[in-house]
A and B are shown apart, each in its own frame.
Chain A
């Protein structure tokens, strides 16, 4: 769940997919990123830090914000 992509801002550069240490982010055929393995995200924030377009938001899952 954590990385949420702003598709208006995303330039399909693929940097987030390339750098994700969880190998959790993948690209569709047209280069749109999506989180394929949401449960494996370690919330390291590298995708957001390295995104050249500030197109990534971090949204914690409800259970992490609740328990």
Chain B
């Protein structure tokens, strides 16, 4: 079937209309440039916080020693272990934090409680209660309303499938409408990628691969498009894991330990309290590591015991978790859980490619202005290397929008290469045009099996090499994937991104010959963290068929020295 071609021209193109994307669009549009937003869903409810969110990481300068920029940068330096350039955190997060908190209020979703106060919670190894709890259940519809009100053109239900380039850099993107099939080519002076992190990479510890901690529709599409256009990616080796309720991968469960819940093994031992000075409030990767050890020793299942907490604290907890995962209270009720009466069974999430901690992302390498290593291409939120999560998406999104707008004012004339558009068009629909073949689900299960077998939380050179060989073979079979309709075509394009992210993840993991962040990059043949050689970023860049890998050392001294003086 022949689908209609639609050409659009704009100053700034935002790919991905989730939290980072909508904020980036607002940031750019407020500067007076034209903006097009492309999203494979409807921006009112798309992305990782489409169903709501309840937490935002911030220091608020209230006078307390822990509540300052200096304290935050000191924490970030320690927490990031060389996985982010502190200068980027300072510019992208610290410099944009106040603006971002104001923006949230301006779109009608302030971070405060109805009485104007902040509800703040302590967890995750922070020096103070930096997590602001708030009701973000309608945050996305509010941001979307603002985006549309500012006159941005929104291409809803258009999945981007490739970036257009000229001799100087990126000049837009192509995609297709997942309902009508129409083909879109957007010519843009600046392009911002905000397509989220990468999920569905590993076999589900539950049953369904779409039952994921983070948004299962975020599949690394933006990272791979950026990589293909020549942009460097970084921190691809890290696989992040969290704790989840046993049967449902609902985010936000660290709130339970944040409020005082205690991790317990099946012998009734509170194992974290013996192993870590911060007990159940230890940094997440330490917690995951100790849970893994308990499971290996046969002391699973693992529980969170909240019986000692007050009834009203627990009630507030379930309500707040319902802002983060709207259906969580239903799950608790339908499963017959009662946090006051019995410990709740938990399990680890599947691995997600999302950077190693809350101040360092994994994905498109960006500088302090959210610019990638390719001209005209910017990135923010979880698809970028900068600080991730909600706070990273809002502060980074705002900065990316403003930076991209500024870039367009200095941009010379750009041209689209019609041959490139034609090639991308062919590739976009290829799985639809096949007469027979395998399903995208079978194809994707194969990728997950390979990754889970030898590229997950225990890695060796041989194991990773085996995985890489299998992934390369799997790549050859992508031409066998046959889809029935446009919805499946979207999923098949996602499967291909997953394959490519897997390859880069494995290659980066082979390159980093040390261990860092506990189970997030655990080389059992190089078990020690080696700061002398590996305090910094492993970068991957396109270089013909195989990527070029390189190492960028990180030094925090300049920023820390300045902020302490």
Binding site for B on A (CB under 8 A): 2, 18-23, 36-37, 39-46, 48-50, 58-60, 63-67
Q: Check: B228 CB closer than 8 A to any chain A CB.
A: no
Q: Check: B261 CB closer than 8 A to any chain A CB.
A: no
Binding site for A on B (CB under 8 A): 40-42, 44-47, 50-52, 137-138, 141, 157, 178-179, 206-208, 210-212, 215-217, 246-248, 250, 325-327, 330-331, 334-335, 487, 490
The answer to whether B206 touches A65, judged by C-beta atoms less than 8 angstroms apart, is no
The answer to whether A64 touches B46, judged by C-beta atoms less than 8 angstroms apart, is no
The answer to whether B41 touches A21, judged by C-beta atoms less than 8 angstroms apart, is yes
The answer to whether A67 touches B326, judged by C-beta atoms less than 8 angstroms apart, is no
CB distance from A17 to the nearest CB of B (A): 10
- Nearest residue (CB) in A for B336 is A65
The answer to whether B51 touches A60, judged by C-beta atoms less than 8 angstroms apart, is no
For the residues of B in contact with A, the DSSP-based class is: loop
**A23 / chain B contacts, CB cutoff of 8 Å:** 40-41, 157, 178-179, 487, 490
**A22 / chain B contacts, CB cutoff of 8 Å:** 210, 216-217
**B247 / chain A contacts, CB cutoff of 8 Å:** 60, 63-67
- Nearest residue (CB) in B for A43 is B327
Our pick among B137, B206, B210, B487 for the contact of A42 (Cβ within 8 Å) is B210
- Nearest residue (CB) in A for B337 is A65
Our pick among A20, A39, A49, A59 for the contact of B326 (Cβ within 8 Å) is A49
The answer to whether B51 touches A37, judged by C-beta atoms less than 8 angstroms apart, is no
The answer to whether B326 touches A18, judged by C-beta atoms less than 8 angstroms apart, is no
**Complex Cα–Cα for A36 and B206 (A):** 22
Whether A39 touches B210, Cβ cut-off 8 Å, given contacts A19-B44, A64-B248, is yes
Whether A67 touches B207, Cβ cut-off 8 Å, given contacts A37-B487, A58-B330, is yes
For this complex, 30 residue pairs linking A to B, each with C-beta atoms less than 8 Å apart, are A20-B41, A21-B45, A21-B46, A22-B216, A37-B487, A42-B215, A42-B217, A43-B51, A43-B248, A43-B250, A44-B50, A44-B51, A45-B325, A45-B327, A46-B50, A48-B326, A49-B52, A49-B326, A58-B327, A58-B330, A59-B334, A60-B327, A60-B330, A60-B331, A63-B206, A63-B247, A65-B335, A67-B206, A67-B207, A67-B247
